[in-house]
Amino acid sequence: MSKKIIPSIFLLLPFFVNAQQERKEETPNVKSQLTIDLGLSGAQLGYEFTAGKNSTVQLRGGIAPVLYDFRYDGWDAREIVAAVILSGEFRAYYNLQKRKDQGKNISNNSGNYLGALITYLGKPLNPDTDAELYRSSHVIMFGPVWGMNRSLGKRIYFHFSFGPAILTRPADKRTTLSANGDLRVCFKLTR
């Protein structure tokens, strides 16, 4: 496998070098920011860092409420429990310059974006029923998303995102099509 990966990296190297040169010439519209996020996806710490003039990568982790539906496994169980959540998302903002030209606030990366999201949901932190239900309950989700940020002040902004997702449970190799959505308020810790 490494025999294929190493040549691929060298083939992509010119693109990375060119992207670095272009980034130095342009002033980014997006800013890196460290946040505490509260919403449908629970309480999380997030760091969104600049990847280009209008693109970022956001890494988040925390505790989320998760609905586990085991009816498909032959169990008559459906529960909302707390679980560890980790995610990574690439975002390409597409209307920041337009908003800036119209005199709208683009602080806190206030704009719309298209992205790709991968999320890991761990096993429940508080299983109070038959432990066998949770043996393979960690989940990986990935898919495209559309989202938006809107400033609610200097250090607070509103976030909304949604999109289709492929949901997989690696332990039992189950894969289904699902939906991914989030609604949260973010408190910016950096300037």
Whole domain around residue 82: which residue ranges? 28-188
Residue type, 7: P
Reported pTM: 0.76
> What pLDDT sits at residue 58?
96
> What pLDDT sits at residue 41?
87
CB 175 within 8 A of CB 168: yes
The pLDDT tens digits of the residues spanning 52-94 come to 889 999 999 999 887 766 555 555 566 677 889 999 999 999 9
> What pLDDT sits at residue 21?
45
Please indicate, yes or no, if residue 63 is contained in any of the structural domains.
Answer: yes
Please indicate, yes or no, if residue 6 is contained in any of the structural domains.
Answer: no
Please indicate, yes or no, if residue 10 is contained in any of the structural domains.
Answer: no
Please indicate, yes or no, if residue 122 is contained in any of the structural domains.
Answer: yes
> What pLDDT sits at residue 173?
77
Please indicate, yes or no, if residue 69 is contained in any of the structural domains.
Answer: yes
Per-residue pLDDT tens, the chain, 191 aa: give them. Answer: 444 544 455 455 455 544 544 444 456 689 999 999 999 889 999 999 999 889 999 999 999 887 766 555 555 566 677 889 999 999 999 999 899 899 998 999 999 999 999 999 887 776 665 545 555 568 889 999 999 999 998 999 999 999 999 988 777 677 889 888 999 999 999 87
CB 150 within 8 A of CB 96: no
> What pLDDT sits at residue 160?
97
Please tell me the total count of domains within the chain: 1
**Torsion sign over Cα 28, 38, 103, 191:** negative
> What pLDDT sits at residue 11?
52
CATH code (residue 124): 2.40.160.20
Please indicate, yes or no, if residue 75 is contained in any of the structural domains.
Answer: yes
Please indicate, yes or no, if residue 53 is contained in any of the structural domains.
Answer: yes
Burial class (CB in 10 A: 0-12, 13-18, 19+), 6: exposed
> What pLDDT sits at residue 23?
45
The string of DSSP codes covering 49-66 is EE-SSSEEEEEEEEEEEE
181 is written with which tokens? 């959505």
